[in-house]
Amino acid sequence: MNPFSVQTLGSEGDVEKLNLDAQTRYLAGGTNLVDLMKHQIETPVSLVDLSEWEGASEIEKTGNGYRIGAMVTNTELANFAWREPSLSVLSQALLSGATVQLRNRATTGGNLLQRTRCYYFYDTAKPCNKREPGTGCSALTGMNRIHAIFGTSEQCIATHPSDMAVALMALNASVSVKTAMGKNRDIALREFYCTPGETPERENVLEQGDLITSVYIPAGTRGTQHYYKVRDRASYAFALVSVAAALELNEETIHSVSLSFGGVGTIPWYPKKALEILQGNKFSVQLLEKAIDAELADAKTFGSNDFKPGLLRRVFLSVMLSLAQRQKKQPGHEGALYENR
Amino acid sequence: MSAIHINGESYPLPDDPRTTLLDFLHQNLSLFGTKKGCDHGQCGACTVLVDGQRMNACLMLAFQLKGKNITTIEGIGSNTELHPLQQAFIEKDAFQCGYCTSGQICSGVALLNEMAQSDPSIVSAQQDCSTREDIAERMSGNLCRCGAYPNIVDAIEQVIALERQS
Point out the domain boundary residue: B75, B94, B127. Answer: B75
B39–chain A nearest CA distance, Å: 8
Q: For the residues A58-62, what does the mean pLDDT come to?
A: 96
The pLDDT tens digits of the residues spanning A139-188 come to 999 999 999 999 999 999 999 999 999 999 999 999 999 999 999 999 99
When CB atoms are compared, the residue of A5, A92, A104 closest to B54 is: A104
Q: What string of H, E and C letters represents the secondary structure of chain A?
A: CCCCEEEECCCHHHHHHCCCCCCEEEECCCCCHHHHHHCCCCCCCEEEECCCCCCCCCEEECCCEEEEECCCEHHHHHHHHHCCHHHHHHHHHHHHCCCHHHHHHCEHHHHHHCCCCCHHHHCCCCCECCCCCCCCECCCCCCCCCCCCECCCCCCCCCCCCCHHHHHHHCCCEEEEECCCCCEEEEEHHHCECCCCCCCCCCECCCCCCEEEEEEEECCCCCEEEEEEECCCCCCCCCCEEEEEEEEEECCEEEEEEEEEECCECCCECCHHHHHHHCCCECCHHHHHHHHHHHHCCCCCCCCCCCHHHHHHHHHHHHHHHHHHHHHHCCCCCEECCCCC
Instruction: Classify the C-alpha dihedral A85-A87-A93-A98 as positive or negative.
Output: negative
Contacts of A234 in chain B (CB under 8 A): 136-137, 140
Instruction: Provide the residue ranges of all domains of chain A, joining segments of one domain with +.
Output: 5-52, 224-336
Confidence band (pLDDT; 50, 70, 90) for B2? confident
Query: What pLDDT, on a 0 to 100 scale, did the predictor assign at position A341?
Result: 47
Q: For the residues B150-157, what does the mean pLDDT come to?
A: 98
Confidence band (pLDDT; 50, 70, 90) for B1? low
- CB contact under 8 Å between B64 and A27, yes or no, is yes
B69–chain A nearest CA distance, Å: 15
Q: Does B43 touch chain A (CB under 8 A)?
A: no
The pLDDT tens digits of the residues spanning B85-139 come to 999 999 999 999 999 999 999 999 999 999 999 999 999 987 788 999 999 999 9
Q: Domain A5-52 classified CATH 3.30.43?
A: yes
Number of folded domains in chain B?
2
Are B157 and B90 within one domain? yes
Contacts of B39 in chain A (CB under 8 A): 38
Q: Does B64 touch chain A (CB under 8 A)?
A: yes
Query: Which residues lie across from A46 on neighbouring strands?
Result: A5, A24
Region at A189 (left for phi over 0; alpha for psi -120 to 50; beta for the rest): alpha
* CATH value at residue B145: 1.10.150.120
Cα A216 from Cα A214, distance rounded (Å): 7
Q: What percent of chain A has pLDDT over 90?
A: 98
Q: Domain A224-336 classified CATH 3.30.390.50?
A: yes
Q: For the residues B132-154, what does the mean pLDDT come to?
A: 97
* CATH value at residue B38: 3.10.20.30
Q: For the residues A265-288, what does the mean pLDDT come to?
A: 98
Are B91 and B67 within one domain? no
Contacts of A72 in chain B (CB under 8 A): none
When CB atoms are compared, the residue of B65, B125, B140 closest to A99 is: B140
Q: What percent of chain A has pLDDT over 70?
A: 99
Contacts of B53 in chain A (CB under 8 A): 75, 104
Are B66 and B91 within one domain? no
Contact (Cβ atoms closer than 8 angstroms) between residue B153 and residue B136: yes
Are B106 and B136 within one domain? yes
DSSP summary character for residue B73: G
* Closest chain A residue to B55, measured at CA: A101
The pLDDT tens digits of the residues spanning B17-57 come to 999 999 999 999 999 999 999 999 999 999 999 999 999 99
Q: For the residues A224-235, what does the mean pLDDT come to?
A: 96
Are B54 and B20 within one domain? yes
Residues 6 or more apart whose Cβ sits within 8 Å of residue A41: A115, A121, A122, A124, A131
The pLDDT tens digits of the residues spanning A239-261 come to 999 999 999 999 999 999 999 99
When CB atoms are compared, the residue of A35, A92, A100 closest to B54 is: A100
ipTM of the modeled complex: 0.98
Contacts of B119 in chain A (CB under 8 A): 75, 79
Point out the domain boundary residue: B47, B75, B103. Answer: B75
A3–chain B nearest CA distance, Å: 7
Are B24 and B52 within one domain? yes
Q: Decide if pLDDT at A298 tops 90.
A: yes
- CB contact under 8 Å between B110 and A3, yes or no, is no
Are B30 and B62 within one domain? yes
Q: Does B110 touch chain A (CB under 8 A)?
A: yes
Q: Does B59 touch chain A (CB under 8 A)?
A: yes
Contacts of A35 in chain B (CB under 8 A): 40-41, 59
Point out the domain boundary residue: B75, B106, B136. Answer: B75
Q: For the residues B138-142, what does the mean pLDDT come to?
A: 98
Q: Which residues 115-144 on chain B approach chain A with CB closer than 8 angstroms?
A: 119-122, 125-128, 136-138, 140-141
Are B10 and B66 within one domain? yes
Q: For the residues A32-39, what does the mean pLDDT come to?
A: 98
Q: Decide if pLDDT at A286 tops 60.
A: yes
Helix (H, G, I), strand (E, B) or coil at B139: coil
Q: For the residues A107-120, what does the mean pLDDT come to?
A: 98
Confidence band (pLDDT; 50, 70, 90) for A95? very high
Q: Decide if pLDDT at A339 tops 80.
A: no
Asked if the domains at A5-52 and A224-336 fall in one CATH topology, the answer is: no
Q: Which domain holds residue B118?
A: 84-165
Contacts of A78 in chain B (CB under 8 A): 120
Contact (Cβ atoms closer than 8 angstroms) between residue A90 and residue A171: yes
Cα A163 from Cα A228, distance rounded (Å): 10
Q: Decide if pLDDT at A78 tops 50.
A: yes
Are B88 and B161 within one domain? yes
Q: In 10 A of CB A129, how many CB atoms?
A: 25
Residue scoring higher pLDDT (B166 or B4): B4
Query: What pLDDT, on a 0 to 100 scale, did the predictor assign at position B126?
Result: 77
Helix (H, G, I), strand (E, B) or coil at B78: coil
